[in-house]
Each structure stands twice: as C-alpha cells, then as structure tokens.
Structure 1
C-alpha cells in the first residue's frame, strides 16, 4: 500500500514514520516545498505523479495557548485551507482511504465528564483556540460528508500530545515540552521558583506521541471498521499542578511553584472518552511518568546538544 503522510517533519509525522508498523508500507513524506497544501493544484499534480492508496493528514499550524490567542485568524485560515485542499484533491483523484488528524479542542468547553464523539458541535467552543478549532471541525465534517458517499475518510481525535520531536521553543511549545525546557533551565540557573499560569487546578489529558502513532497505524489497518470520528486518549487526566510536579521530579528541579492567576488557562477540564477504540482492540502503552522521562531524555540528548 502506498501511503502519503503530510506533516512528516512534525512530531506526529516523525513518530509515525519511525514506528515499526511503517515498514509494512511504501511511505511518502514530502516537504511543504514538494507539496504545498495551500495550493490545491500542486496537490493534484503531486497525486497524479505518485500513486497513493491512503493519506494520513498530520500537517498543520499548531502552537500553545498564547500562540493561538495571538493568531486566531492564521490558525483558522492555514489549517482550514490545507485540510480542505488536501481532502478535495484526494477525493477528485479517486483516493478512497483518508485518515484526518483532528484535535480534542473541537469539543465544547466546560464539559466536566468524559467527552465522547457524539458531543461534537453540542456547545460553545473554548475562546482561546477558537480559530484552530473551527478549522479542525470543518475539515472533519468534510471527511464525514465524503464518507457518506462511500469513501473511507475518517477523523482521529487525540487528546493533547507530547514526546520525541516536539517543539520545545519558548514561543511555539505546548505545555509539557514548554515546562520541560523552562524547568531544565531553572535547574541549571538554580532558580528558586517557576511560574504556573492560573491556579494549577485545570485538568488535561496528555498522551505520549508514540502511543498516538501506534493508534493511527491501528486505524490504518482497521479503516473500514472505525467510525467517522474516533477519540484516542489514555483515559485519565491530571491537574496542571500534577504535571509540573511530575516534571520537576524527573528534571530534578528543587524550587517552588508560583501561580499567576492573571494568565489564561483555557478549558477547566478536557478528558476524552476512548471506549470505542479500546473496544476495537487498541490500548495505550506509556504511563505519564515513562513518557515524560523519555521526552526529557530526548530533550537533553537531542535538543540541548
């Protein structure tokens, strides 16, 4: 089977390509220069020259809470344009199998219990990443509508992801890689404290990126059986303070936490229900402690050096 992976240089794309299951397929991972997803004619040209049986769409403009707040229009436009262009080009090229990578931010805010797939479009979105969420919802719905025409166009909705090949930069990182980088620096500088946005009580579900790659390959093999939307998570959430505490123990930071309650924190809780994929036979393999330990080891060996 010939598989196109977009976003092959990003965290999810690299973990997919380096997964053992990738060896079973012929994989293409062109760069944005080779296939510009903002130009549908370029996508059509590439697909005409490269036989493709299935597409895994991982490309996108991503960032943490501050990056989303500062660039709502860019997150909406770029992610919507890339997704719709790629799906429409795949459909017009007769490609019957497509796995779209969604995001748990497409679900309504302020849901205190587990979020299942039926809750999509059932309430108001979180304002801090509204642009990104609207783009992701639109792309997922386009996949759904084409699936109803007999195509296998499915959307995987993961919880928050971290791990090898993550972005540890100050401006572009999500929470776990950002905290790892800040805490490592604080340890080196012998800082007395590190700041946490909010009161630390907001809860999040984070999954190690290798687990997500494993789930995506599981869905590739079972693409006809999985529903149009399918959650992928670890089935457990922790408070922001819990994550800081776990990271501090692994990094070896001995200072205190100071809470900045003037900063935005996003949704109070975001735990997705992964019962469908679990019942189909997939389960995560990495605990939080193991995943963060592996990520910190990667950061010190690959990023710092």
Structure 2
C-alpha cells in the first residue's frame, strides 16, 4: 500500500519513518520544498500525481504553553490551513483512507478525567492553547463530515496524549514539559546551578507517551485501519505530576540540585489524562516506561544535539 506521511520531519514523523514496520509500505514523505501544505493547489496536485492509498496527517505547528500563548493566531491559522488542505485534497483526489492525528488539547478545560472522546466540543477550551485546539477540532470534524456524506471515504482521527522522545523540540520557549525539563536540568548540571525553576506549584498532572510507542501504534493502526473507530484516544492510561516528571528527569541526568516554583506562571489544565478504553479494546498498549523513555531520549539528545547544550 502506498502511504503518504505529512510532517515526516517532525517528532512523530521521524520516529515513524524509522520504525521497521514501515518497510512493508510504499512510503511518500515529501519535504516542505516539494509540497507546501499551506498551499492547497500544491497539495491537491501532489495527491493527484502520486495517488497514495492512505494518508497519515502528522504535520503541524506545535509548541509548549509559552509558544502557544505567544503565537495563538499562527497556531490557529497554520494548523487549520494544513488540516483543511490535506483532508480536502484527499477527498478531491479520491483517496479513500486518511488517518488524522489530533491532540488532547481538543478537550474542554473543565472536562472530567479521564477524557473520553465524546467530551470534545462539550465545554470551554483551555485558553493557553485555544488556537491550536480549535484548528485540531476543525480538522477532526471535517474528517467526520466527509465520511458522513460518503461512507466510502474512511477519514479517522486519533488523539494522542502529550508525547516526548527523539526529535522533540528542546528549546524551553517552544518545547513541551518533558523536553523543557531535560533541557533545563541538563544545563543546570553542566553549569553547576543549584536550583531549577518549575512553572506553577508542580501539582498539575500530565500524561506523556514515548514517541517511539506512538510510532508503533501508527504501524499497528495501518494494519487495523478498517477496525479503527472514527475517533480514538491513544495514551498510556496513567499520568504523573509535573514535580514527578522533573524528579524523573533529574534521576536520569544525575542532577543533584533542587527545584523552586514560579507561581506567577501559567500552568494550563490541572489534569489531562485520556481515556484509553477504545484503544485497549483494539488490543494495543504502550510498552516504554517513563524512566526508560527519558533515558533513551537523553541518550539520543547527547549523541545528536549535545553541542547545543554546552
């Protein structure tokens, strides 16, 4: 089967491209210079020329809480345009299968945890990443509308929890929690700093999946595509506090300093844990533990990008 992967240069795409299971497929992974996903005519022309049988839409403008707050309009417009262009071009080109990758940011800020798929659009979004969430919701809804209008177009959305791993962004101004913690704690150790600052009081709870596990799920999903529900969470099924993540990173990095809390900073939702009932019924579970995943990420970081932290 010929599979088109958008966003092959990002964290999800890079981990997926290196999964041995992908060798069974004829893979298309165009760079931005080959097809600009923000340009609809380019996207449609590429789909018509190369005729993939299935698209995995993994492209997106992503970042942590600081970047989302600072660039709300860009996170809304870029992600909405990419999603709209890819999904619309797929339909116009007669591509019958599409797997859209959403985000747990799509859930209402006050929804009860664990977050079930039917909670989407049932309440106010978290303001710190509202633009990104709106774009992801719009793309998921477009997939659903197209399938409702013509059931031969099987366009489905998977909603991963937060992720970390190789090819993540490690600049604290753009990175998510775990990547930022790795960066800050490594720098503190290298520079002999006695304390690392944590935003908020550290009691907010988050669920993080190792990106290699999510790549493994995507390979599993390709083989099980017809059995996937139209929308499904993908997560570990458990979460940790921010403080616990920082302590886990410190253990891997062998940092002996302490932590201080900046209570003036935004922390987002108090908890974000996805319900994995549909995922478990499909027969897949994540296999990488937190300490193992952090260690693998740190080893990759030092082997490939360590010079940026010295």
User: Where on the TM-score scale, by shorter chain, does this alignment land: which range?
Assistant: over 0.9
2:168 paired residue number: 166
Query: What is aligned with 2:219?
Result: 217
Q: Tell me the residue number matched to 1:256.
A: 258
Instruction: Determine if contact 1:112/1:269 at 8 Å carries over to the other structure.
Output: no
Which residue in 1 is equivalent to 2:13? 13
Cα offset, 1:170, TM superposition: 3.0
Shift of 1:38: 0.8
Report the counterpart of residue 232 of structure 2 in structure 1: 230
Q: Which runs of 4+ in 1 moved over 3 A?
A: none
Deviation at 1:236, TM superposition (A): 0.3
- Per-residue CA shift, 1:51-73, capped at 9, x if unaligned? 21000001111001010000111
Mapped to 2, the partners of 1:192 and 1:268 lie a distance apart of 28
Number of residues of Structure 1 aligned to a counterpart in Structure 2: 305
Aligned to 1:292: 294
Does structure 2 retain, via aligned residues, the 8 Å contact 1:147–1:228? Answer: no
The alpha carbon displacement at 1:29 in A equals 0.6
Query: What does 1:89-168 correspond to in 2, within 5 Å?
Result: 89-148=89-148, 149-150=150-151, 151-168=153-170
Specify the SS of the correspondent of 1:141: helix
1:216 shift after superposition: 1.3
How many angstroms apart in 1 are the aligned matches of 2:265 and 2:67?
Answer: 14
Gaps of 5+ in 2: none
* Cα RMSD, aligned residues only: 0.9
TM-score, normalisation: structure 1: 0.98
With normalisation by structure 2, the TM-score equals 0.97
Q: Tell me, in whole angstroms, the C-alpha distance in 1 between the residues paired with 2:205 and 2:300.
A: 25
The question of whether the paired residues in 2 share the 8 Å contact of 1:110 and 1:269 is answered with no
The 8 Å contact of residues 111 and 119 in structure 2, kept in 1 or not, is answered as no
Alignment of 1:185-204 (within 5 A): 185-204=187-206
Query: What's the counterpart of residue 280 of structure 1?
Result: 282
CA distance in structure 1 between the partners assigned to 2:25 and 2:220 by the alignment: 13
3-state SS of paired residue (1:12): helix
Instruction: Determine whether 1:30 maps to 2:20.
Output: no
Aligned residue in 2 for 1:70: 70
Unpaired stretches in structure 1, ≥5 consecutive residues: none
CA offsets per residue over residues 189-226 of structure 1, 9 Å max, x none?
Answer: 11110000000000000000011111112111111111
Q: Distance in 2 between matches of 1:113 and 1:155?
A: 20
CA-CA distance at 1:112 after TM superposition: 4.1
Pick one of 178, 181, 198 that aligns with 2:180: 178
Deviations 1:15-34 (A, max 9, x none): 11111110100101101111
Q: What is the CA–CA distance in structure 2 between the aligned matches of 1:289 and 1:111, rounded to whole Å?
A: 29
